[in-house]
Homo-oligomer: A and B are copies of this chain.
Amino acid sequence: MNAISSASAVQTVHVPLGERAYDILIGPGLIARAGAEIASRLKGRKAAVVTDENVAPQYLDVLVASLDAAGIASAEVILPAGEKTKSFEHLITVCDKVLEARVERNDCVIALGGGVIGDLSGFAAGIVRRGVRFVQVPTSLLAQVDSSVGGKTGINSRHGKNLVGVFHQPDLVLADTDVLNTLSEREFRAGYAEVAKYGLIDKPVFFSWLETNWKAVFAGGSARIEAIATSCQAKADVVVADERETGQRALLNLGHTFGHALEAATAYDSRRLVHGEGVSIGMVLAYEFSARMNLASPDDARRVERHLNEVGLPTRMSDIPGELPPAETLMEAIAQDKKVKSGKLTFILTRGIGQSFVADDVPASEVLSFLREKHG
């Protein structure tokens, strides 16, 4: 593919957040163009690139060369890969490196990696000097369609996932779709769960389109760019309506309350369960629980499960290898999840495909007996 066709294949999603507005560029060859794209948008000429040990050997040189070519001096921080990196310990390392590199308010932190690197370095960018610029270069499908859009950053605590962080919007997101070709099938599928989620929240036509076109999305090319752009646009729409998550933004948590509990129950062991797989099972559970509460038809739950199964995602708790803790333990994880207000459980439930809504008074007893039933 030559440079001209690369550039013309790029789609742009604009996120109109007033003085925090930014663009998401989606398409091939964007890492090699990162320096030019950043230099044309930001005033600063210093950057701290944060990445992990898996991603660094593949893309760090190309990124740094493109920054150099654009006159942007960069420092590098290479962290261990994996969810455990979202800790205070690594946050301190990143903050220290960013300060050492004398990154000032108009300079930037660049996250080159998946959701873990994005969440951690976005948090560091949000707190060093009370906020420096932030550029995301997401290298997983999950990060391209979810964690790099919306400004949520954070780390995990022993009390649960993402319990410490800030809202800090990026100034630019470069979703280079070439990098997705090197992902494992399993990792691509996990990201696809979040793509399907946007259909299930409020885009029934997009969900139908995915049912028909998912093989083309997996194969790459324009269908994949289309699916990613539609997902980013869907998330951007929700974020713009509710930047600080006081209401409708919670819709993005469809499947996540159950999913987070399952991730906690498997001690964030990626050999057993990765985030997108937890969301896949969680979405099916949310549709089934909605059917149980007579909100939606059981047919919808079956349709969701059928599609996710077809692409190869797990859809039941029993699909997770190894023993799960009892339903009561899952319930405790749910209660400590951050989507709790004054003791009542907030869940994203649904009235059908693309008809999800925020329910903030779900009885804990119903959830527990549902979990007991599904667990067995």
Q: Which residues of A contact B (CB under 8 A)?
A: 43-45, 88, 92, 95-96, 99-100, 102, 104-106, 123, 126-131, 152, 154, 157-160, 163-167, 244-245, 336, 338, 340-342
| 25 A–B contacts, CB within 8 A, in A order | A45-B342, A88-B92, A96-B158, A99-B157, A99-B160, A99-B163, A99-B164, A100-B159, A102-B336, A104-B338, A104-B342, A105-B341, A106-B341, A106-B342, A123-B127, A126-B166, A127-B166, A128-B163, A129-B163, A130-B152, A130-B154, A130-B166, A130-B167, A131-B167, A131-B244
For the complex, what is the distance from the CA of A92 to the CA of B341, rounded to whole Å? 24
Closest approach, in angstroms, between the C-beta of A35 and any C-beta of chain B?
18
Are A99 and B159 neighbours in the complex by a CB distance under 8 Å?
A: yes
Pick the 9 closest A-B CB pairs, nearest first: A99-B159, A130-B165, A88-B92, A127-B164, A129-B338, A95-B164, A99-B157, A130-B167, A99-B163
Q: Is the CB of A128 within 8 A of B164?
A: yes
Cα separation A123 to B373 with both chains bound (whole Å): 43
- Residue from B95, B100, B159, B340 within 8 A of A104 (CB atoms): B340
* Least distance between A182 CB and chain B CB atoms (Å): 32
Within 8 Å CB of A127, what residues of B? 123, 127, 164-166
Distance, CA A44 to CA B341, complexed state (A): 9
A207–B256 CA distance with the chains assembled, in angstroms: 57
CA distance A307 to B158 in the complex (A): 53
Give bound CA distance, A130 to B165, whole Å.
Answer: 5
Measured between beta carbons, the chain B residues less than 8 angstroms from A45 are: 342
Measured CB to CB, the closest approach of chain B to A336, in angstroms, equals: 8
Closest to A102 in B: B336
- From A44, A96, A127, A130, residue with most partner B Cβ within 10 Å: A130
Task: Give the distance to chain B from A60, nearest Cβ to Cβ, in Å.
Answer: 24
Closest to A160 in B: B99
How many angstroms between the C-alpha atoms of A336 and B130 in the bound complex?
15
Tell me the minimal C-beta distance from A77 to chain B in angstroms: 15
